[in-house]
Amino acid sequence: MWCAVTYQRVGERRRQLVAVARKVLTERGTGATSTRTLAAEAGVPLSTLHYVFGSRDELWRAVLEDVTADLSALVRRSIGPGMSFAEAVEATYRDFWASIEHCPEQELMSLELFVDARRRDSGRDLARWQYERYAADCAEAFTAVLEHSQERLAQPLGDVVSLMLALSDGMIIQYLADGDRERSHRLLEHAIDAVVRFAAPEKEVPAHRVRALREVRQP
Protein backbone atom coordinates (compact mmCIF):
# COMPACT_ATOMS: atom_id res chain seq x y z
CA MET A 1 0.00 0.00 0.00
CA TRP A 2 2.78 2.43 0.90
CA CYS A 3 4.48 1.84 -2.46
CA ALA A 4 1.21 2.41 -4.34
CA VAL A 5 0.49 5.65 -2.48
CA THR A 6 4.08 6.85 -3.00
CA TYR A 7 3.92 6.05 -6.72
CA GLN A 8 0.61 7.90 -7.02
CA ARG A 9 2.03 10.95 -5.26
CA VAL A 10 5.11 10.95 -7.49
CA GLY A 11 2.84 10.75 -10.53
CA GLU A 12 0.76 13.67 -9.31
CA ARG A 13 3.88 15.69 -8.50
CA ARG A 14 5.30 14.89 -11.92
CA ARG A 15 2.18 16.23 -13.67
CA GLN A 16 2.26 19.34 -11.49
CA LEU A 17 5.91 20.05 -12.26
CA VAL A 18 5.43 19.51 -16.00
CA ALA A 19 2.50 21.96 -16.01
CA VAL A 20 4.55 24.54 -14.11
CA ALA A 21 7.54 24.00 -16.41
CA ARG A 22 5.39 24.54 -19.51
CA LYS A 23 4.02 27.77 -18.04
CA VAL A 24 7.37 29.17 -17.00
CA LEU A 25 9.19 28.13 -20.17
CA THR A 26 6.44 29.69 -22.27
CA GLU A 27 6.66 32.96 -20.34
CA ARG A 28 10.44 33.23 -19.88
CA GLY A 29 12.14 30.88 -22.33
CA THR A 30 14.80 28.25 -21.73
CA GLY A 31 17.60 30.74 -21.12
CA ALA A 32 15.89 32.27 -18.10
CA THR A 33 14.58 29.03 -16.64
CA SER A 34 16.48 26.83 -14.18
CA THR A 35 15.38 23.91 -12.04
CA ARG A 36 15.68 26.20 -9.03
CA THR A 37 13.29 28.68 -10.69
CA LEU A 38 10.80 25.92 -11.46
CA ALA A 39 10.94 24.52 -7.94
CA ALA A 40 10.23 27.97 -6.49
CA GLU A 41 7.36 28.51 -8.93
CA ALA A 42 5.88 25.13 -8.04
CA GLY A 43 6.29 25.76 -4.32
CA VAL A 44 8.38 22.65 -3.70
CA PRO A 45 11.94 22.11 -2.43
CA LEU A 46 14.57 21.79 -5.14
CA SER A 47 15.33 18.32 -3.79
CA THR A 48 11.77 17.25 -4.57
CA LEU A 49 12.10 18.34 -8.19
CA HIS A 50 15.37 16.41 -8.53
CA TYR A 51 13.75 13.37 -6.91
CA VAL A 52 10.96 13.34 -9.49
CA PHE A 53 13.21 14.30 -12.41
CA GLY A 54 16.78 13.12 -12.16
CA SER A 55 18.09 15.81 -14.51
CA ARG A 56 17.06 18.88 -16.44
CA ASP A 57 17.11 16.82 -19.64
CA GLU A 58 14.59 14.45 -18.11
CA LEU A 59 12.28 17.34 -17.22
CA TRP A 60 12.66 18.92 -20.66
CA ARG A 61 11.77 15.58 -22.24
CA ALA A 62 8.65 15.33 -20.07
CA VAL A 63 7.62 18.82 -21.21
CA LEU A 64 8.14 17.92 -24.88
CA GLU A 65 6.22 14.68 -24.40
CA ASP A 66 3.35 16.67 -22.93
CA VAL A 67 3.39 19.21 -25.78
CA THR A 68 3.61 16.48 -28.41
CA ALA A 69 0.72 14.59 -26.80
CA ASP A 70 -1.40 17.75 -27.00
CA LEU A 71 -0.57 18.22 -30.69
CA SER A 72 -1.36 14.58 -31.44
CA ALA A 73 -4.68 14.91 -29.62
CA LEU A 74 -5.44 18.02 -31.70
CA VAL A 75 -4.92 16.03 -34.90
CA ARG A 76 -7.28 13.30 -33.72
CA ARG A 77 -9.93 15.85 -32.71
CA SER A 78 -9.64 17.66 -36.03
CA ILE A 79 -10.43 14.60 -38.11
CA GLY A 80 -14.15 13.93 -38.15
CA PRO A 81 -15.90 10.71 -39.12
CA GLY A 82 -16.35 10.17 -42.84
CA MET A 83 -13.77 12.74 -43.90
CA SER A 84 -11.83 12.27 -47.11
CA PHE A 85 -8.05 12.58 -47.00
CA ALA A 86 -8.16 16.12 -48.44
CA GLU A 87 -10.78 17.15 -45.88
CA ALA A 88 -8.69 15.69 -43.05
CA VAL A 89 -5.58 17.57 -44.21
CA GLU A 90 -7.52 20.83 -44.37
CA ALA A 91 -9.18 20.37 -40.97
CA THR A 92 -5.89 19.44 -39.32
CA TYR A 93 -4.03 22.39 -40.80
CA ARG A 94 -6.74 24.89 -39.86
CA ASP A 95 -7.09 23.68 -36.28
CA PHE A 96 -3.34 23.52 -35.84
CA TRP A 97 -2.87 27.05 -37.14
CA ALA A 98 -5.65 28.33 -34.90
CA SER A 99 -3.72 26.92 -31.93
CA ILE A 100 -0.56 28.72 -33.11
CA GLU A 101 -2.36 32.05 -33.31
CA HIS A 102 -3.99 31.46 -29.93
CA CYS A 103 -0.65 30.98 -28.16
CA PRO A 104 2.42 31.63 -30.34
CA GLU A 105 4.61 31.81 -27.23
CA GLN A 106 4.04 28.10 -26.60
CA GLU A 107 5.27 27.27 -30.09
CA LEU A 108 8.32 29.45 -29.47
CA MET A 109 8.93 27.47 -26.28
CA SER A 110 8.78 24.19 -28.22
CA LEU A 111 11.27 25.50 -30.78
CA GLU A 112 13.62 26.66 -28.01
CA LEU A 113 13.52 23.25 -26.38
CA PHE A 114 14.22 21.60 -29.73
CA VAL A 115 17.21 23.86 -30.45
CA ASP A 116 18.50 23.45 -26.89
CA ALA A 117 18.31 19.66 -27.21
CA ARG A 118 19.83 19.61 -30.70
CA ARG A 119 22.87 21.65 -29.63
CA ARG A 120 23.81 19.19 -26.89
CA ASP A 121 25.12 15.72 -27.65
CA SER A 122 23.03 14.35 -24.79
CA GLY A 123 19.88 15.88 -26.25
CA ARG A 124 20.11 14.92 -29.91
CA ASP A 125 18.04 11.80 -29.40
CA LEU A 126 15.37 13.95 -27.76
CA ALA A 127 15.26 16.32 -30.74
CA ARG A 128 14.92 13.38 -33.13
CA TRP A 129 12.30 11.75 -30.94
CA GLN A 130 10.16 14.91 -30.93
CA TYR A 131 9.77 14.92 -34.71
CA GLU A 132 9.54 11.16 -35.13
CA ARG A 133 6.80 10.91 -32.50
CA TYR A 134 4.68 13.67 -34.00
CA ALA A 135 5.16 12.32 -37.54
CA ALA A 136 4.20 8.82 -36.40
CA ASP A 137 1.06 10.06 -34.64
CA CYS A 138 0.01 12.06 -37.72
CA ALA A 139 0.65 9.08 -39.98
CA GLU A 140 -1.45 6.87 -37.73
CA ALA A 141 -4.36 9.31 -37.83
CA PHE A 142 -4.22 9.69 -41.62
CA THR A 143 -3.88 5.94 -42.11
CA ALA A 144 -7.23 5.53 -40.37
CA VAL A 145 -8.72 8.19 -42.66
CA LEU A 146 -7.47 6.39 -45.78
CA GLU A 147 -8.85 3.07 -44.56
CA HIS A 148 -12.31 4.51 -43.99
CA SER A 149 -12.38 6.67 -47.12
CA GLN A 150 -10.96 3.82 -49.25
CA GLU A 151 -8.46 6.15 -50.86
CA ARG A 152 -4.87 5.62 -51.87
CA LEU A 153 -2.10 8.17 -52.26
CA ALA A 154 0.28 8.70 -55.14
CA GLN A 155 3.10 9.32 -52.67
CA PRO A 156 4.21 7.47 -49.51
CA LEU A 157 2.25 8.69 -46.50
CA GLY A 158 5.49 9.29 -44.59
CA ASP A 159 6.63 11.75 -47.27
CA VAL A 160 3.25 13.50 -47.22
CA VAL A 161 3.42 13.95 -43.44
CA SER A 162 7.02 15.20 -43.68
CA LEU A 163 5.92 17.80 -46.22
CA MET A 164 3.11 18.92 -43.91
CA LEU A 165 5.55 19.38 -41.03
CA ALA A 166 8.12 21.16 -43.20
CA LEU A 167 5.55 23.65 -44.48
CA SER A 168 4.17 24.17 -40.99
CA ASP A 169 7.62 24.86 -39.52
CA GLY A 170 8.42 27.46 -42.15
CA MET A 171 5.11 29.23 -41.65
CA ILE A 172 5.52 29.17 -37.87
CA ILE A 173 8.97 30.78 -37.97
CA GLN A 174 7.72 33.53 -40.28
CA TYR A 175 4.71 34.17 -38.06
CA LEU A 176 6.82 34.27 -34.91
CA ALA A 177 9.11 36.76 -36.63
CA ASP A 178 6.51 39.35 -37.61
CA GLY A 179 3.03 38.17 -36.60
CA ASP A 180 1.60 38.78 -40.09
CA ARG A 181 -1.74 36.95 -39.89
CA GLU A 182 -2.95 37.97 -43.35
CA ARG A 183 0.09 36.46 -45.06
CA SER A 184 -0.06 33.40 -42.82
CA HIS A 185 -3.65 32.75 -43.84
CA ARG A 186 -2.71 33.01 -47.52
CA LEU A 187 0.18 30.62 -47.03
CA LEU A 188 -2.08 28.25 -45.11
CA GLU A 189 -4.33 27.92 -48.17
CA HIS A 190 -1.29 27.27 -50.38
CA ALA A 191 0.05 24.70 -47.91
CA ILE A 192 -3.23 22.78 -47.86
CA ASP A 193 -3.36 22.81 -51.66
CA ALA A 194 0.29 21.77 -52.00
CA VAL A 195 -0.04 18.79 -49.63
CA VAL A 196 -3.23 17.53 -51.27
CA ARG A 197 -1.77 17.90 -54.76
CA PHE A 198 1.42 16.13 -53.71
CA ALA A 199 -0.49 13.28 -52.08
CA ALA A 200 -2.95 13.06 -55.02
CA PRO A 201 -5.52 10.91 -53.19
CA GLU A 202 -7.91 8.85 -55.29
CA LYS A 203 -10.57 6.27 -54.59
CA GLU A 204 -9.44 2.68 -54.61
CA VAL A 205 -11.31 0.30 -56.89
CA PRO A 206 -12.56 -2.75 -54.92
CA ALA A 207 -10.97 -6.04 -56.00
CA HIS A 208 -14.30 -7.55 -57.14
CA ARG A 209 -14.91 -4.57 -59.44
CA VAL A 210 -11.42 -4.92 -60.92
CA ARG A 211 -12.12 -8.57 -61.72
CA ALA A 212 -15.48 -7.67 -63.25
CA LEU A 213 -13.91 -5.00 -65.46
CA ARG A 214 -11.25 -7.45 -66.64
CA GLU A 215 -13.87 -10.02 -67.52
CA VAL A 216 -15.87 -7.46 -69.51
CA ARG A 217 -12.79 -6.36 -71.43
CA GLN A 218 -11.78 -9.91 -72.34
CA PRO A 219 -12.62 -10.76 -75.97
Using CA atoms, how far apart are residues 135 and 87, in angstroms rounded to an integer?
Answer: 19
User: Which distant-in-sequence residues (6+ apart) come within 8 Å of 148 by Cβ?
Assistant: 81, 82
In a 3-state reduction of DSSP, which class is residue 85? helix
Contact between 174 and 184 under an 8 Å Cβ cutoff? The reply is yes
In a 3-state reduction of DSSP, which class is residue 203? strand
φ, ψ at 151 (rounded to 5°) = -110, 160
The reported pLDDT for the residue numbered 118 is 82
Walking along the chain (219 residues) 10 residues at a time, the average pLDDT comes out as 49 92 92 90 91 88 90 92 95 96 92 85 79 92 95 97 96 95 96 97 64 47
φ, ψ at 66 (rounded to 5°) = -65, -45
The reported pLDDT for the residue numbered 116 is 84
Domains of the chain: 1-54 (1.10.10), 56-204 (1.10.357.10)
What pTM, to 2 d.p., does this model score? 0.82
